[in-house]
Amino acid sequence: MIVRRKRTRSQRGEPRRGPGRGRGWAAPLLGWLEEHPRAALASLGRLWRNPGSTLMTALVIAIALALPGALWILLTNTQAASEGWDSGAAISVYLEADLNEQAVAEVEQALAGIDGATLVRTISDDEALAEFREMAGFDAALAELTDNPLPYVVVVEPTATGAGATELGDLADRLAGVTGVDRAQVDLEWVQRLHALLALIERGILLLAALLGAGVLLIVGNTIRLDVLNRRSEIEVIKLIGGTDAFIQRPFLYGGFWYGLAGGIGACGLLILLTALLATPTAELAEAYGSGFRLQGLGAREAAFLLLGGGLLGLIGARLAVGRHLRAIEPA
């Protein structure tokens, strides 16, 4: 006779609740909450007890993180230093040739009447020629001239400081429209070139950072891989006792995180040291140019980014290495 019964949990091969049977759901949860700090501290203690190798790994990571960090600081400082340069940009207004002094004065007046334009100075044709004469090599060529072919040049600055490239362009167009003006040229090109260059460098730094970030992944991954292999017998025993993969890999993941975080802290230290060493020479250089520019060191945002990024890279590196190698270790 076949008696059909409802199958019990254990007959279906399902787990009894919790590890201790009937301990309710709260106890395992609290145990789990206790387990994470325990794993974190245990892996930290393990690193602490091997200061030599830990420091070496952290230092390698620190250098890998500090390199793009240093370039980034250099870039932001260059950007900051070049910020005021746009406003210093001037427009050279070339007057038509063969104007007499009277006509020049009229054009100057008309230019001064243009909204937003401030006349800085006027370079007469004679002055311009004299400047050319002073330059070596031109002497002989200029001696041949009977006439002065150079026009008057009026240097105009925008009244408003911090005018952008488009505003400068507009102003130049209006200046060029004045009768007696041949053309107006914005002396801005080199600033624009600088900005384009800085944008390129910024991209380059990001690429370099990505590359070195991948390097950090590999460093941490390899360190953790060796760690796993060194603790092979321990892993086997824990597996025999019923430790899950998650339990076994937890201290290794924390280990990777600590390596990355230590590297981030080291990178911050290196960058602070670097800016401290460069602060005085930079200030001296700026003073020589009559500028109040001061080197901007590591900001709080950059520091947070380095610490978090380091920790995250360490965690990911450990995760990539540990999963594969833990699976391969089985008790026999």
Q: How far is the CB of 50 from another protein (least distance, A)?
A: 12
Q: What torsion do the CA atoms of 40, 45, 46, 49 make, to the nearest 10 degrees?
A: 160
* 40 versus 123: smaller Cβ distance to another protein: 40
Is 41 an interacting residue with respect to another protein (CB under 8 A)? Answer: no
String of b and e for 9-36 (b: at least 16 CB within 10 Å)? eeeeeeeeeeeeeeeeeeeeeeeeeeee
Q: Which of residues 136-175 bind another protein (CB under 8 A)?
A: none
Q: Binding-site residue total for another protein (CB under 8 A)?
A: 29
The DSSP element (H or E) to which 91 belongs, if any, is strand 91-95
Is 6 an interacting residue with respect to another protein (CB under 8 A)? Answer: no
Residue 83 burial by CB count (10 A; 0-12/13-18/19+): exposed, middle or buried? exposed
Is 330 an interacting residue with respect to another protein (CB under 8 A)? Answer: yes
| Ranges of H-type helices in 177-231 | 189-230
User: Of 116, 169, 180, 243, which one interacts with another protein (CB under 8 A)?
Assistant: 243
Residues 6+ apart with CB under 8 A from 179: 107, 110
- Of 25-33, 107-115, 205-213, 277-285, the segment contacting another protein by CB under 8 A is 25-33
Report the 10 Å Cβ neighbour count for 90.
Answer: 17
Q: How far is the CB of 315 from another protein (least distance, A)?
A: 22
* 17 versus 133: smaller Cβ distance to another protein: 17
Is 326 an interacting residue with respect to another protein (CB under 8 A)? Answer: no
Which residue's entry shows tokens 């947070």? 304
Q: How far is the CB of 256 from another protein (least distance, A)?
A: 20
Positions that interact with another protein (CB under 8 A): 10-11, 13, 15, 19-20, 27-28, 30-32, 34-35, 38, 234, 236-245, 247, 330-332
